[in-house]
Amino acid sequence: MAEALLELGVMFAAIAGVGALANRLGQSVIPFYIVAGMVLGEFVLGRVALPVVGTTYIPESEFIAIGAELGIVFLLFFLGLEFNLDRLLARRRQIGTAGTIDLANFGAGFVLGWLVFGAFLPAFLIAGIVYISSSAVITKSLIDLGWIANDEAEPMLGTLVYEDLFIAVYLAVASAIALGGGDVGAAAVDVGIAIGFILGLLGLVQFGTPAFARLVDTTNREFIALRSIATVVLVAGGALALGVSEAVAAFFVGMAFASTDHTHEIETLLEPVRDTFAAVFFFWIGLVTDPLLFGGVAALIALAVIVTTPTKLITGFLAGRAFDLNARRSTRVALGMTTRGEFSLIIATIAVTAGEAGAFDPALAATINAFAVGYVLVMAILGTTLMQYSEPFESAVASWLDRSEPAGDGESSG
């Protein structure tokens, strides 16, 4: 007991420490949390003998694994809570265009995965991992750089909303296929159950709002927090027990709470809870990732970075254009959207979970996980850095477009 508590203390101290360091460096905290987990886990610290204490490391305890699970649940719960269908519909032409162009990244990832692994499920997972940009990292950079007040924030946040909706359906399908053993035909029933479950949850969102509103209709903050946590964790747990993605269930519970008058209060109360468990999730991802596996997937990571950075740059630029932005601002959208983060890791955990359940080749699962972690470490830092040093890219694109478009269509001033 004492040992387990001390391990948790070391974990949180490490998270808090590297978080402060990341902040000072102007970087996202996510890659730092992952590296902290990796360094303190059995694959790094566990392999060295320290002078006094001998070999000691933080094992993947049940608490950390469950904490990571809660991190996924709360991340998706907040996505649902902040998801606003009206907002999507109000700008459906622009967001629809930008988001649909963005799907090209999914296709590129699928082709890449198929060429490397030659099988459907790994290709499908790789496609998801390289498709989804990081809401957390991009939003933080937008605020830090002050771009949030500029026009480029709208295509970025709009495309992220589209991606969120896509990923909710994707997670349900991917986890059903993975847990069904990777055979698409045999998984058809599981996919059917998953889609039935989603439809059930959509019904809950549509007709259950009064019930959700009554549940949190109290002035006691403690009860609001506990009741919303109880609802989301209970539904997510129930979903997982049925073999449906817990993340998707959490997303829809968030959407159901979003239509009540207490959205803002729930957000304020649960934000620290989400941040705590999300940090545990990133730390856990580091714990279960063997950096030695990076050697085996380094080529794949490099290939993915080389292929999917330009594809995101192009789709991001076109997203900016779909919002009628000039070349300079569209370039910023392009640079920002290259950032990948938390959702790529959540997709990787599908492989890990299926591997542990015996439905998926564990070696392949470990490879995909190592790929996702390595890829996110590169893309989160690359994306943040590109946004910080966007000036030369903006000038280059603006002058290049001006030359190729002598009619002056590129830069519109208004």
The reply on whether position 265 binds other proteins by CB under 8 A is no
The reply on whether position 142 binds other proteins by CB under 8 A is yes
The reply on whether position 341 binds other proteins by CB under 8 A is no
Of 111-119, 134-142, 172-180, 374-382, which part binds other proteins (CB under 8 A)? Answer: 134-142
Q: Which of 105, 135, 141, 344 binds other proteins (CB under 8 A)?
A: 135
| Crossing angle of the two packed helices 62-82 and 2-25, in degrees rounded to 10 | 40
Of 103-111, 143-151, 169-177, 224-232, which part binds other proteins (CB under 8 A)? Answer: 143-151
CB-wise, 55 or 150, nearer to other proteins?
150
The reply on whether position 153 binds other proteins by CB under 8 A is yes
The reply on whether position 161 binds other proteins by CB under 8 A is yes
Site for other proteins in 177-206 (CB under 8 A): none
Is residue 381 within 8 Å of 338, Cβ to Cβ? no
Site for other proteins in 4-63 (CB under 8 A): none
The reply on whether position 154 binds other proteins by CB under 8 A is yes
CB-wise, 356 or 411, nearer to other proteins?
411
Task: Identify the CA nearest to 196 among candidates 128, 242, 259.
Answer: 242
The reply on whether position 282 binds other proteins by CB under 8 A is no
Q: Which of 24, 93, 264, 403 binds other proteins (CB under 8 A)?
A: 264
CB-wise, 227 or 332, nearer to other proteins?
332
| CB atoms inside a 10 Å sphere around CB 182 | 21
- What is the rounded CA–CA span in Å between residue 72 and residue 83? 16
The reply on whether position 217 binds other proteins by CB under 8 A is no
Structure tokens that stand for 190 in this block: 């599981």
Structure tokens that stand for 392 in this block: 């030369």
The least CB distance from residue 274 to other proteins, in Å, is 12
CB-wise, 183 or 411, nearer to other proteins?
411
The least CB distance from residue 412 to other proteins, in Å, is 9
Q: Which of 71, 158, 316, 341 binds other proteins (CB under 8 A)?
A: 158
Structure tokens that stand for 407 in this block: 């009619």
- What is the rounded CA–CA span in Å between residue 185 and residue 191? 10
Q: Which of 42, 60, 82, 361 binds other proteins (CB under 8 A)?
A: 82
Is residue 333 within 8 Å of 384, Cβ to Cβ? no
The least CB distance from residue 82 to other proteins, in Å, is 5
Q: Which helix (H) or strand (E) holds 414?
A: none
- What is the rounded CA–CA span in Å between residue 8 and residue 4? 6
Of 140-148, 211-219, 283-291, 350-358, which part binds other proteins (CB under 8 A)? Answer: 140-148
| Crossing angle of the two packed helices 153-179 and 327-337, in degrees rounded to 10 | 30
| Alpha helices, DSSP H, located in 208-291 | 209-215, 221-241, 246-258, 263-287
The reply on whether position 150 binds other proteins by CB under 8 A is yes
41 phi/psi in degrees, rounded to 5? -85, -175
- What is the rounded CA–CA span in Å between residue 185 and residue 175? 14
Measured in whole angstroms, the distance separating CA 397 from the mean position of its chain's CA atoms is 29
Beta bridge partners of 50: 54
Q: Which of 157, 169, 195, 378 binds other proteins (CB under 8 A)?
A: 157
- What is the rounded CA–CA span in Å between residue 291 and residue 23? 24
Residue 55: C-alpha distances to residues 40, 44, 50, 300 (Å): 11, 10, 6, 32
Beta bridge partners of 54: 50
Q: Which of 268, 324, 356, 405 binds other proteins (CB under 8 A)?
A: 268
Of 144-152, 180-188, 219-227, 380-388, which part binds other proteins (CB under 8 A)? Answer: 144-152
Length of the chain: 414
The reply on whether position 272 binds other proteins by CB under 8 A is no
CB-wise, 157 or 307, nearer to other proteins?
157
CB-wise, 217 or 361, nearer to other proteins?
217
Site for other proteins, rule CB under 8 A: 82-84, 87, 135, 139, 142-143, 146-150, 153-154, 157-158, 160-161, 264, 267-268, 271, 326, 413-414
